[in-house]
Every structure is written in C-alpha cells, then in structure tokens.
Amino acid sequence: MKATTITGIVLIVLGIAGFLTGGFSFTKDTTAAKLGPLELTVKEKQTVNFPQWLSLGAIALGAIVLVVGARRS
C-alpha cells in the first residue's frame, strides 16, 4: 500500500472514531496538600471533547487523500 492510501484510511478511521465517541475522559491525581509525612491527593476527572466539525473534516480530508492517491497511480 502506498503512503497516501494509508494516510487516507487513518484519517477516515480517526474521524469516524472521533465522531462516534465525541471525546474521552481520564482521571488525574493531584497533590492538594502535603504536611510532613501526610499527603492529601485528589482525583480529578477531566474530559476532552472532539468537535464534530473536526471529525467530519478528517473524514472528508481522508476521502480526498484516497481519491488523489488513486488518481496518481
């Protein structure tokens, strides 16, 4: 497979995944206070959202890359 074909497929798959999931969340441990041997940690849940226009743009760009790659071969 050519590099343009692989790039197009990866963009389409990432765009579909971003569109279907909408984002992801993760838990982050932070130290709130430290008093001698005592340490207070807090778990914060953070969310990263993917805009739908970005996902659709990745799908469209992947399709364009696939078409241009197919025409050149």
How does pLDDT run across 19-63, given as a tens digit for each residue? 899 888 999 988 888 888 888 888 999 998 989 999 999 999 999
pLDDT at position 31 is 81
- What gap in Å lies between CA 29 and CA 10, rounded to an integer? 32
- Joined tokens for residue 38: 């005592």
Q: Is the pLDDT assigned to residue 10 strictly greater than 90?
A: yes
Count the alpha carbons within 13 Å of 65 in the hemisphere toward its beta carbon: 17
Q: Is the pLDDT assigned to residue 65 strictly greater than 80?
A: yes
pLDDT-derived band at 73, boundaries 50, 70, 90: low
- Joined tokens for residue 21: 């999931």
pLDDT at position 39 is 84
